[in-house]
A and B are shown apart, each in its own frame.
Chain A
Amino acid sequence: MKTPTRPPARRIFDPHIHMTSRTTDDYAAMYEAGVRALVEPSFWLGQPRTSPATFFDYFDSLLGWEPYRAAQYGIAHHCTLALNPKEANDPRCAPVLDELPRYLIKDGVVAVGEVGYDSMTPAEDTALAAQLQLALDHELPALVHTPHRDKAAGLARTLDVLRESGLPPERVVLDHLNETTVGAAADSGCWLGFSIYPDTKMDPDRMVRILRVHGTERVLVNSAADWGHSDPLKTSHVADAMLAAGFDEDDVDQVLWRNPVAFYGQSGRLTLDVAPPGEREQQLFQGNSILRGGE
């Protein structure tokens, strides 16, 4: 008898989603769709920040409140931390770089990110190079955002900086790729990240066409859902589109679970065993009598 190698049900790891901007209804719907783990990269919150202290409260939230919220819905939460490219241009925010080392040692941090280019300015050059060095120092992967505007030129410049950094390509994911940038990104040896959006970036059918050409190796598919028009179930829609296009369940499991586990697992800090929602409360409070001073 052949031992089954596949999991009994679909499991999804969303490797890039901004849950701070989402509701508990989203968490419940994600669990229902099979999401059991996610990574929340620190990013721009829509309203520009004006001081480092607001970053620290945000980082603390990604290491405290947000993992707590996720666990209530049976989802393992990890994060990536960085000064994002857009705000790297504000000198009031730049001192965040000096404080990042004390955050990058935390258990829940599985990469440095999002780093990369927004407008390709000298300040962004400095922040990107400094943070790739932090990834090297802390033996962490890096989540590298490719710019929304002037994307192909931005990717070329990003690849130059990555080569200079000495960070091995297998420790880097280049995110928000599309048909025009996937070739150069694949040639670099980095992991390939695709953000599936309702209207922009990528959609599930285009994603499937890219998977047909490039295969399922080194590919990460995310919803990148945030405060804008986005959908936290897009990972699940890609799984459906893959099956409809002839990929099998094992391909789906590779792209939507094993690949992100392999990429972020390089941090040595992934913990994926979160109890299902119904069982969690029972586990929370039992068995702590010694720590609590009892017999």
Chain B
Amino acid sequence: MLTPLASLRTGLELHLTAESRTWLRRALTEAADARPDTAAPGGGAAPDTGAAPRLPRWELHFVTAGRKCHPAPRTSDTAAVAPDPVDAARVLILHAAAPDTDTLTRLYTRGTADERRAVLLALPHLDPPPATAGALALVEDALRTNDTRLIAAALGPYAAAHLQAHQWRQGVLKCLFTGVPLAVVAGLEHRAAGDDELARMLADYARERTAAGRTVPEDLGHVLKLARFEEIREEIEERDAP
């Protein structure tokens, strides 16, 4: 069976122009050659032509993916390329290069919003995994922004597995504040279940909205039920009913 990233690569290649496909293969080969555990010392750095900063070639591919990775013209069968091909290409490059946590942090802090989003999306796929504290610092940085695409990317499986409860609850609440659908929060059902503090925060937020004469986001009710264990209680009550 294909791993999720192998499926991602296959799906992406199907959607790209021939030129972009060639670019992607080269980028992934050069990224794999630069893996810290296999690369020759000093290998992979771009020649210092003055045209570009002296970055490893795979990092240049990561930065320039937006203008190198073009989907082929859409047909009725491929109406939407999902996920975003540039996001997918950058995640695949990061996975192939397996950067250490310092490199990952540098790519994020020196990255555009698109590059930062790709770093966040890649976090759960990296092998070896990044140092938890360093990776969480990036997640928390993204959750402090008001860029909804960064917020959504930050609340992926990595946050579900590692983000401390208070920060995670704040992230869920921030989604409600900024209009990010809660369906994007990875592991929502598992993490929200029986979380009394989250239930209190959601109920308070619903009360605040109602007091202001504003609507309560539709998906709040679903998560509030989860947090209060209502669905599970109902199931148990039904099961135990005489």
**A interface residue numbers (CB < 8 A to B):** 60, 63-65, 67-68, 101-102, 105-108, 137-139, 268-269, 271, 281, 284-294
Q: Which residue of A lies closest to B82 (CB)?
A: A287
- With A68-B149, A287-B80 in contact, do A293 and B60 touch (Cβ < 8 Å)? no
Q: Which residues of A contact B124 (CB under 8 A)?
A: 293
Q: Which residue of B lies closest to A268 (CB)?
A: B67
A105 to B116, CA, bound (A): 15
Other contacts beyond A64-B116, A107-B67: 11, CB < 8 A: A68-B147, A101-B52, A107-B112, A108-B66, A137-B50, A286-B82, A287-B82, A288-B184, A291-B88, A291-B156, A293-B186
Asked whether any CB of chain A lies closer than 8 Å to the CB of B63, the reply is yes
A93–B2 Cα distance when bound, in Å, is: 52
Interface size on B, as a range, is 35 or more
Asked if B121 and A64 sit within 8 Å, CB to CB, the answer is: no
**How far apart are A139's CB and chain B's nearest CB, in angstroms?**
8
What distance in Å separates the Cβ of A73 from its nearest Cβ neighbour in chain B?
14
Contact partners of A284 in chain B: CB under 8 A: 148-149, 152
**Contact A293–B179 (Cβ < 8 Å):** no
Q: Which residues of B are at the interface with A, using a C-beta cutoff of 8 A?
A: 4, 7-8, 11, 49-53, 55, 60, 63-67, 80, 82-84, 87-88, 91, 110, 112-114, 116, 121, 124-125, 145, 147-149, 152, 156-157, 179-181, 183-184, 186
Name B's interface SS: helix
Query: What are 30 of the A-B contact pairs (CB < 8 Å)?
Result: A64-B112, A65-B113, A102-B55, A102-B110, A106-B112, A107-B63, A107-B66, A107-B67, A107-B112, A108-B112, A137-B49, A137-B52, A269-B66, A271-B66, A271-B67, A281-B179, A284-B152, A287-B83, A288-B84, A290-B83, A290-B88, A291-B87, A291-B88, A291-B156, A292-B156, A293-B4, A293-B125, A293-B156, A293-B157, A294-B186
Find the residue from A101, A269, A292, A294 having the highest chain B CB count within 10 A.
A292
Chain A residues whose CB sits within 8 angstroms of the CB of B66 once the complex forms: 107-108, 269, 271
Quote the shortest CB–CB distance from B72 to chain A (angstroms).
15
Partner of A292 from B51, B63, B116, B184 at Cβ < 8 Å:
B184
Closest to A267 in B: B67
Query: CA–CA, A139 to B179, complex, Å?
Result: 40
Contacts of B55 in A (CB 8 A): 102
In the assembly, what is the distance between CA of A287 and CA of B67, in Å?
A: 22
Q: Which A residue's beta carbon lies closest to that of B161?
A: A293
Beta-carbon contact of A290 and B67 below 8 Å: no
| Nearest-CB residue, chain B, relative to A102 | B53
Q: Given the complex, which residues of B lie within 8 Å of A289, measured CB to CB?
A: 83
Complex alpha-carbon distance, A68 and B49, angstroms: 33
CB pair A291–B91 under 8 Å, yes or no, is yes
Please state if B8 and A291 are interface contacts (CB–CB under 8 Å): yes
Once bound together, how far apart are the Cα atoms of A108 and B121, in whole Å? 20
B113 with A63: CB separation less than 8 A = yes
B184 smallest CB distance to A (angstroms) = 5
Distance A289 CA – B148 CA, assembled complex (angstroms): 17
Report B-chain residues with C-beta under 8 Å of the C-beta of A106. 63, 112
